Amino acid sequence: MNELFKIRELGVCIKGRFDEKTAFTFHEINQGEEVSHHDLPLNFIIFVLEGELEINYNQHENGRIESNQMILLLRKSSVQVKTLKNTTLYIMYFDRLLSSCDQQMLNALLPDIEKSKYDFKGVSIPEPVVQFLKQIAYLQAANVDCIHFNSLKHRELFILLRHFCSREDFLQIMGPVIGSSFNFRNRVFDKVSQTGHVPVTQLAGLVGMGRKNFDKKFRKEFGISPTKWMLQEKAKHLYLFLMEPEITIADAMDRFNFNSAAHFNRFCLRHFNKTPGAIIKEGRSIVIEK
Domains of the chain: 14-178 (2.60.120.10), 181-285 (1.10.10.60)
| Amino acid residing at 81 | V
Mean pLDDT of all residues belonging to the chain? 84
Q: What are the CA-CA distances from residue 113 to residues 75, 101, 117, 129 (Å)?
A: 19, 18, 8, 23
Q: What DSSP character marks residue 245?
A: T
pLDDT at 168 over 90: no
Q: Is 42 helix (H, G, I), strand (E, B) or coil?
A: coil
Contact in structure between 88 and 130 (CB atoms under 8 Å) = no
- What residues are paired with 234 via a beta bridge? none
Is the whole-model pTM more than 0.75? no
Residue 234 DSSP symbol: H
Give the integer Cα–Cα distance in Å for 288 and 282. Answer: 12
pLDDT of 290 > 50? The answer is no
CB atoms within 10 A of CB 31: 12
Backbone angles phi, psi at 89, to 5 degrees: -150, 160
pLDDT higher than threshold 70 for residue 136: yes
Distance of alpha carbon 29 from alpha carbon 4, whole angstroms = 10
Q: Kindly indicate the confidence band of residue 187, based on its pLDDT and cuts at 50, 70 and 90.
A: confident
Cβ proximity of 71 and 55 under 8 Å:
yes
pLDDT in tens, 229-251: 888 888 888 888 888 878 889 99
Interatomic CA distance for residues 194 and 209, integer angstroms: 17
Judge whether 178 and 107 are in contact, CB under 8 Å: yes
Q: How confident is the model at residue 19 (pLDDT cuts 50, 70, 90)?
A: low
Confidence band (pLDDT; 50, 70, 90) for 256?
confident
Per-residue pLDDT band at 111 (split at 50, 70, 90)? low
Could you tell me if 72 and 44 are in contact, meaning their C-beta atoms sit under 8 angstroms apart?
Answer: yes
Instruction: Give the pLDDT confidence score for residue 289 in this predicted structure.
Output: 42
Q: What is the pLDDT of residues 149-160, one digit of tens each?
A: 999 999 999 999
| Mean pLDDT, range 145-169, rounded to an integer | 91
In the predicted model, what is the mean pLDDT of residues 264-275? 92
| Residue 139 Cα distances to 60, 145, 248, angstroms | 35, 7, 38
Confidence of residue 198 (pLDDT cuts 50, 70, 90): confident
Give CA–CA dist 87/28, Å, rounded.
6
Residues shown for the chain? 290
